[in-house]
Each structure stands twice: as structure tokens, then as C-alpha cells.
Amino acid sequence: MNPTSYLTAISKADTYKRYGKVLRVVGIMIESKGPAANIGEVCYIHPSAQKDEPIIAEVVGFNEERIILMPYEEVMEIGPGCLVESTGKPLSVKIGRGLIGHVIDALGKPLNGQPLQKGLTSFLTDQSPPNPMQRPPITNPLQVGIKIIDALLTVGEGQRIGIFAGSGVGKSTLLGMIARNSEADINVIALIGERGREVREFIEKDLGDEGLKKSIVVVATSDQPALMRIKGADTATAISEYFRDQGYRVNLMMDSVTRVAMARREVGLATGEPPTTKGYTPSVFATLPKLLERTGTNPNGTITAFYTVLVDGDDMNEPIADTVRGILDGHFVMDRKLAERGQYPAINVLQSISRVMQQVTDKNHHELAKEIRALLATFEENRELIQIGAYKRGTDQEIDQAIAYYPKIQSFLMQGIHDYHSFEESVQLMQNLLHGGVNE
């Protein structure tokens, strides 16, 4: 760099710090007069009491000439006249290989008491989705080590999947199994709006030491402000994007995207947006596609994303479930009835779909999966007749075949939490099930 460049940089530098002052606080919203700032910029609010750390907030809107801010943490020390300082830039977090094995919050600070390594890179949490013309097509299957998924709902590297489930049907356990068994290089796990009790339980029980060794866990619990829950999702996605750009195969697991939408609704209502479907504001439906489209493939690497969606009262058509299902490349529906029957993972194969399965599997694999689906569908259609004994054997050959195969299919669909099956093994087991001989 020549001296002229330095002089130009110095002449353009703004040596003034501009401050505004807090006028009022209403609920989760802080109004201030000044400073000059744009939407999405981070500001520091300096409490009136002498405190080392200023409170971090983000500009989320304007009201005439007043700035509307939302804090990243609980506000107790803020009063009228507190100084508001603009940083002039949006939120960025420190990212690098040194994060692997750590549990961090939405701002990238460690939660497990271990200091982060030096040499991490600053990375903006809010990124744009890749250019659709620069996204390579999905051509390779991703082994997740779970028979029902690898065999019947094959996932491709760079695919985005929704896991739709009511509460307590086993979605956290399923995510833990995918994190431990998957052949991806790195897992990024975002626990958004979870109960504090569940976080440690998930890390120690579902993920385990083996899973944590190749994972980065981002936590924003339900007691934290709405902005922290939104930023938790953005931070986890940004970490995934960083590693994808380095050429890694990344698994992003977000539990749950519904809680991100609820946090967006809180922010939208506080800034004066009108409530629409089920109280969700228009900005929720505008920002969801942007968040979900950031994952997937790019010329360097892939992010295979698993987003859990909470379905209230097991209603698959509630607004968030409906919107997310339309954006993603497939969905796994976890069925409470299957869980009650003792089938784990409780994935309903007939209601679930992987939109890229045909692209990433060979003809033999696809035909075997189709055959099992057909047998399951035939049995389910006639389940009541079979159970009450109204169906007589020999009336219909297809139903007879479905009844004969059903117990074997059921045992194939079940898998213990700590069991592992390779992709090839799952396909071979499916082959044996169908063509290994059944006494009819």
C-alpha cells in the first residue's frame, strides 16, 4: 500500500463518535432520539449506572425521526437519557475451526466455560442466499446412518429437509442420531427457543462426546429476548456458510424453525406490523425463505440442512408448517400414533418425501423403496378391515402380500438410538426383506 492510499483512508475516516439518547422503553422495544443509523446496525446503549459492559441492541425500525432498538439481552439498567452509540455496522461473529466442539450463544460467546481459540475470523451473521445459477445440482447421497431415511427417504448432499413433529415425538433424538451417524464433515446444531433443561440433556445424552467432537452447538434458550433467538438462527447459518465456503460438507440442524418464526412475530408486533394468519406478521413470511435459502449447495461445498417444525396439535397445515414445506426439498413427518405403537424413529414413510431421492439413488434402490411404500400403503388402506377380522385371506393377492410382509417391514423401520447402519447395509437389508423369501 503506498503512502497516498494511507492518506486517502485517513481523510475518509470519521473520527467523531455520534450518540443519541433513550426516550422511552415499551415492552421489548427501546426508542431513542439519534444517532444516525440504518436498519440492522448494532448500537451500544450505555447504562446510567457505571457498568463495564454496554448493552448491545439492534436497529429494527424507525418512527418519524426516532430509532426503534431491540436489545440482545435483558435490560434492567436502562433509563431516560441513557446514551446510544452507533457502531455503523451489523452484527458479526468470530468463526473458525477453533469453534468445533464448543457450545456458544447467538453472539458467538462460549457457554461451556472453555475459552475460544485465537485466530478466528469475523463473519457477518446476515448473508444473502447464493445465486441460483451458481448452485451445483444435488447428485450425491448423504449417509445419515438411519435405515428408514437412507433406504426410503434418501437425503442428498446439499438438500434441505423439514422434520415435522408435535412435542415429545422424538425429533431431538432423531437429530442426535443424524449428528452422530452422518458422514458429513461438520455438524452445526442450533437449539433455538429450547428449554434450558433440554440443552444440556441434548448435548450429553442425544449428541454425546462422539457427536460433539465434530459439532458446533449454537444455543438461544426460550428465556432470552426475541432478537437473540433470531440471531441464533442467523449465527448458526453463517457458521455453516463459512465452512461450506472452505469446501466442507456441513450438516446444519435447527431445532426449531417455528421458534425462530415466533421470535420474528414478537419483533414484528412490537414494531407495529399488523398481525395476519394466526398472529404472524408479514415480515415472518418474507424472512423465512431468505433464512432457509441460505443453505444448500454452492461451488465450494454443501450444507445439508435439517429444520424441525413444531406442528401444534399435530396440524400439518398450520401457517409456518405450510410455508416451510413449500420452501424445502422434502419433509419427514413424525407421527404420534407410530410413537405410541413403539416404532422409533416414528417417521411416517407414506406422509414423508425426499424430493431429490430419484436424483441420488440408482434404479434398483428406487424400485425397492417403491415396492416397500406400495406394500405399506396397501396395508394402511385396509388396516381396519384386517384388525377387526373382516378381511378373508385369499380375497385379494395384494392385501395378502402386504399382510405377509408387514411384520418384516415394521422391524426394518425400527432402529435403536445407538444403532448404526451404513448406506449400503440399509439398501442390502431392504433387498433381503423383499427378495429373501416370505412364507405366504
Q: Are both 310 and 407 inside the same structural domain?
A: no
Q: Are both 227 and 336 inside the same structural domain?
A: yes
Taking Cα atoms as reference points, which of 162, 202, 173 lies closest to residue 354?
A: 162
| pLDDT confidence band for 314 (50 / 70 / 90) | low
What is the predicted pLDDT for the residue at 15?
63
From 30, 64, 90, the end of a domain falls on 90
Q: Which of 210-224, 384-398, 409-423 has the lowest mean pLDDT?
A: 384-398
Q: What would the mean pLDDT of 80-98 be, rounded to a whole number?
A: 89
In a domain, 49, yes or no: yes
Instruction: Please state, in angstroms and rounded to a whole number, the distance separating the CA atoms of residues 375 and 207.
Output: 34
What is the predicted pLDDT for the residue at 394?
78
| pLDDT confidence band for 439 (50 / 70 / 90) | very low
Q: Are both 74 and 126 inside the same structural domain?
A: no
What is the predicted pLDDT for the residue at 79?
81
Helix (H) or strand (E) holding 94: strand 92-95
Q: Are both 204 and 243 inside the same structural domain?
A: yes
Under 8 Å between Cβ of 134 and 300: no
Q: Name the pTM for this structure.
A: 0.90
Taking Cα atoms as reference points, which of 425, 420, 427 lies closest to residue 181?
A: 420
How does pLDDT run across 103-141, given as a tens digit for each residue?
A: 999 998 898 777 788 888 899 999 999 999 999 999 999
| pLDDT confidence band for 14 (50 / 70 / 90) | low
Count CB atoms within 10 A of the CB of residue 222.
14
What is the predicted pLDDT for the residue at 208?
84
What is the predicted pLDDT for the residue at 440?
40
What is the predicted pLDDT for the residue at 230?
94
**In this structure, is the dihedral angle defined by the CA atoms of residues 92, 98, 100 and 103, taken in order, positive or negative?**
negative
What is the predicted pLDDT for the residue at 119?
82
Is residue 345 reached through a cis peptide bond, with omega within 30 degrees of 0 on the bond before it? yes
What is the predicted pLDDT for the residue at 164?
94
What is the predicted pLDDT for the residue at 51?
62
Under 8 Å between Cβ of 55 and 44: yes
How does pLDDT run across 195-208, given as a tens digit for each residue?
A: 888 888 888 888 88
Q: Are both 38 and 166 inside the same structural domain?
A: no
Q: Which residues contact residue 426 at a Cβ distance below 8 angstroms, ignoring those fewer than 6 apart? A: 147, 150, 151
Higher pLDDT, 48 or 272: 272
Query: Does residue 50 have a pLDDT over 70?
Result: no
How does pLDDT run across 361-414, given as a tens digit for each residue?
A: 999 999 999 999 999 999 999 888 888 888 788 788 898 999 999 999 999 999
Q: Are both 153 and 301 inside the same structural domain?
A: yes
In a domain, 238, yes or no: yes
Query: Does residue 169 have a pLDDT over 90?
Result: no
Mean pLDDT, all residues of the chain: 88
Query: Does residue 436 have a pLDDT over 80?
Result: no
Q: Are both 235 and 315 inside the same structural domain?
A: yes
In a domain, 6, yes or no: no
Higher pLDDT, 86 or 161: 161
Query: Does residue 18 have a pLDDT over 90?
Result: no
What is the predicted pLDDT for the residue at 357?
94
Q: Are both 149 and 42 inside the same structural domain?
A: no
Q: Are both 81 and 113 inside the same structural domain?
A: no
Question: What is the DSSP secondary structure assignment for residue 334, as one 8-state letter?
Answer: B
Query: Does residue 1 have a pLDDT over 80?
Result: no
Q: Are both 71 and 139 inside the same structural domain?
A: no
**Residue range of the domain that includes 339:** 93-359
From 48, 68, 90, the end of a domain falls on 90
How does pLDDT run across 260-287, given as a tens digit for each residue?
A: 999 999 988 888 889 888 889 999 999 9
In a domain, 343, yes or no: yes
CATH number of the CATH domain containing 378: 1.20.1270.330
Query: Does residue 427 have a pLDDT over 90?
Result: yes
CATH number of the CATH domain containing 119: 3.40.50.12240
What is the predicted pLDDT for the residue at 438?
45
The residue behind cell 440443552 is 199
Query: Does residue 290 have a pLDDT over 90?
Result: yes
Q: Are both 284 and 159 inside the same structural domain?
A: yes
| pLDDT confidence band for 25 (50 / 70 / 90) | confident
Instruction: Please state, in angstroms and rounded to a whole number, the distance separating the CA atoms of residues 368 and 37.
Output: 59
- In total, how many domains does the chain have? 3
From 90, 114, 133, the end of a domain falls on 90
Query: Does residue 8 have a pLDDT over 80?
Result: no
What is the predicted pLDDT for the residue at 49?
67
In a domain, 76, yes or no: yes
Instruction: Please state, in angstroms and rounded to a whole number, the distance separating the CA atoms of residues 90 and 238.
Output: 13
